[in-house]
Structure 1
């Protein structure tokens, strides 16, 4: 099967999307399928990958607020590539210009829209949460659901990346044909990678002894990730308990987070770690992984942390909440530093060995990306076999 992903969110310096797509490309190659990604970039270029996969970069404008990403506008270069490749399936996940480029293309391929994010939750519900209720914001942005329907009706199948997003979309009356829950590359991650010396070194970076508690957060420094909530909560807890926080990442909000964390000697910000083996050791060596985003419908990094045997402190809604279970996790109200601080204190009060053991058992249950890819290909094959029966 030849699959083309017209992906406006793919970037060599990106985070979860890049990780997902690169791994998916390798898995599909192992399965005998070829994935080509068409992505915006500063200049035209082609990256060949083993097994027939490749990334074709098309020159396009930069995203104004984040230069890591580009914006498709001109349809001609994209449709010319689609004509040349003649795929069996063309995927798209951006609801903006790429959706219409794919919808208007007249090739033979199955057209699949894969929902990876929830723009209403990520933006207006965050922007206006202090002045309006969630229900009021949903009503005010009902036009966005109608907009989605205007192009989704021209796709052969519509899927989401997890049950949290499926429930949100269906509650708004948006079409979803199948839930294709994501998975992770389980290979690098294991509780066996726990390194007490690394843990002690990280705590020392936070000005704490080895008997303190080490919290870890990983992700882009962007308001939708709500790292400010985490920083404020840890600062509160740090006043009454020995706890350190290591935040790994960077982004448009880095300077603001640095200023916010400056008042606490036990919070440290580090640049992204691209060495997967080292990242796996860090994850396995923390005492808990903490996450702030409520808008992410699936948490790749949260899954990786759990696969590493890390207990979780996460919001009570969104993709991260799907992974939280009482034996190894505590939850809080998204965006609320007070309830986040309370969740941290509850976790710190629990028996570390029992907590770690429960997380270690849960690590073996984390869904793999191979399971996800196999289910997705089976879904596409069923849709191609019968275009009118796309629901899995």
Structure 2
């Protein structure tokens, strides 16, 4: 094995909750690194991203969205993936999931060439069935691939348990959470405090100076259940000086506006394109509300918690089940339980000190599983797969060694 092993990372599409981690991997990996994507984007997920010096490769191919898919996920097929792998000659490969035919093809290439590979996974038994004919079919189609991996990269404990259910495997698991740049969010919150910018931010978003802020941030679609946030807020607010700020857009916008009517305590902002504005808004909120019925991860949880804001979340949000300790740094509520969300909102409205204490704990939890944590776990797993101890790994060159 060469002293500077070559790492190939095949991802689905670029996302803001992976790109920062991938940049850190590129900076810290001791050998050549190639990042490749199956597509530049997919419907419903168009982000403006800065790749800096990553120089990713976008593979030509096709994508197809299954009928009744509840989130913007499309299956990818990229026939040129083999040529890409053979041109780079990796020593270890990272595959984003086991669903895409592109990933199956890459895994077969790895097995033919005795190249160790890892599989990242954000699915858990909460978000996907593990019984019945669908589970049998999934194991038949992708079980070989999971059982043949050198190590797993689940987003957390439940995703790791899900991977293990594909069949016997001694592959170690290295947690690889979806995460935004938590340090940037903490910095934005600090800037707002240091500059005294909160009054101007409230004025810009038409939020009264002293109102407690509850946030919903995300697409206004059925799987997110934004109507539950509105119903719970109305039930809990009473005469309190509080506002529900709905950040986002989607198919349910008109319906939700109609439901809110002329209630001045509910504000719809549409999408806020400046990430700094969202981070600062999170930092002055009392809590984030995320009542989703289907959310394999939910990076907005990491963002809110990094900003020092507790999350009131359904028990179907992957990030919340990993990061939120119910009643300590946020609240976990059964999906659809509007009275449960309302009780959490009322508790925070009645006890601002509790909200602040929860916020501090939330920040600690998010920072402990930020980008450095995720990148370090992937690098440790990949080095171990090629027989290089993380302690003995070669130093990173002065100029990061990207694909040549």
Aligned residue number for residue 153 of structure 2: 159
Match of 1:63 among 62, 65, 69: 65
Aligned residue number for residue 307 of structure 1: 306
Match of 2:139 among 146, 152, 155: 146
Give distance in 2, aligned partners of 1:67 and 1:184. Answer: 20
**How does the TM-score come out when normalised to structure 2?**
0.75
Tell me the alpha carbon deviations over residues 241-272 of structure 1, each in whole angstroms, 9 at most, x when there is no partner. 44322222334554554454447443333333
Tell me the alpha carbon deviations over residues 291-332 of structure 1, each in whole angstroms, 9 at most, x when there is no partner. 223654544221221121112212346431332243442332
Give distance in 1, aligned partners of 2:334 and 2:70. Answer: 28
Task: Report how far residue 369 of structure 1 moved.
Answer: 0.6
Which of structures 1 and 2 has the larger relative contact order (alpha carbons within 8 angstroms, sep 6+)? 2
Give distance in 1, aligned partners of 2:57 and 2:292. Answer: 29
Distance 1:247 1:107, change over 3 A: farther
Give distance in 2, aligned partners of 1:161 and 1:310. Answer: 21
Aligned residue number for residue 322 of structure 1: 322
- Superposed, 1:26-45 pairs within 5 Å as 26-32=23-29, 34-41=33-40
Q: Which moved more, 1:326-335 or 1:137-146?
A: 137-146
Give distance in 2, aligned partners of 1:49 and 1:319. Answer: 25
Tell me the alpha carbon deviations over residues 74-122 of structure 1, each in whole angstroms, 9 at most, x when there is no partner. x52222222222223322233322332222224453221110234x633
Q: SS where residue 180 of structure 1 aligns?
A: coil
Distance 1:184 1:41, change over 3 A: closer
- Superposed, 1:107-146 pairs within 5 Å as 107=113, 109-118=115-124, 121-122=126-127, 138=131, 141-143=134-136, 146=139
Task: Report how far residue 381 of structure 1 moved.
Answer: 0.9
Distance 1:199 1:290, change over 3 A: farther
Distance 1:20 1:358, change over 3 A: closer
Give distance in 2, aligned partners of 1:267 and 1:314. Answer: 19
Aligned residue number for residue 250 of structure 1: 249
Aligned residue number for residue 399 of structure 2: none
Task: Report how far residue 344 of structure 1 moved.
Answer: 1.2
- Superposed, 1:322-361 pairs within 5 Å as 322-325=322-325, 326-350=327-351, 352-360=352-360
Distance 1:290 1:63, change over 3 A: same
Q: SS where residue 145 of structure 2 aligns?
A: helix
Give distance in 1, aligned partners of 2:20 and 2:50. Answer: 14
Give distance in 1, aligned partners of 2:127 and 2:237. Answer: 29
Task: Report how far residue 161 of structure 1 moved.
Answer: 0.9
Match of 1:89 among 87, 92, 97: 92
Distance 1:48 1:82, change over 3 A: farther
Give distance in 2, aligned partners of 1:69 and 1:311. Answer: 28
Give distance in 1, aligned partners of 2:72 and 2:133. Answer: 31
Q: SS where residue 210 of structure 2 aligns?
A: coil
Match of 1:186 among 182, 186, 189: 182
Structure 1 unaligned blocks of 5 or more: 12-17, 125-136, 387-392
Distance 1:303 1:69, change over 3 A: closer
Aligned residue number for residue 4 of structure 1: 8
Q: SS where residue 36 of structure 2 aligns?
A: strand
Give distance in 2, aligned partners of 1:264 and 1:107. Answer: 63
Task: Report how far residue 382 of structure 1 moved.
Answer: 0.5
Task: Report how far residue 63 of structure 1 moved.
Answer: 3.1
> Is this contact kept in 1: 2:287–2:312, CA < 8 A?
yes
Give distance in 1, aligned partners of 2:165 and 2:147. Answer: 18
Aligned residue number for residue 15 of structure 1: none
**How does the TM-score come out when normalised to structure 1?**
0.77
Give distance in 1, aligned partners of 2:106 and 2:221. Answer: 29
Aligned residue number for residue 291 of structure 1: 290
Tell me the alpha carbon deviations over residues 128-170 of structure 1, each in whole angstroms, 9 at most, x when there is no partner. xxxxxxxxx8456542563442431233323311123224554
Give distance in 1, aligned partners of 2:289 and 2:215. Answer: 6
Task: Report how far residue 236 of structure 1 moved.
Answer: 2.6
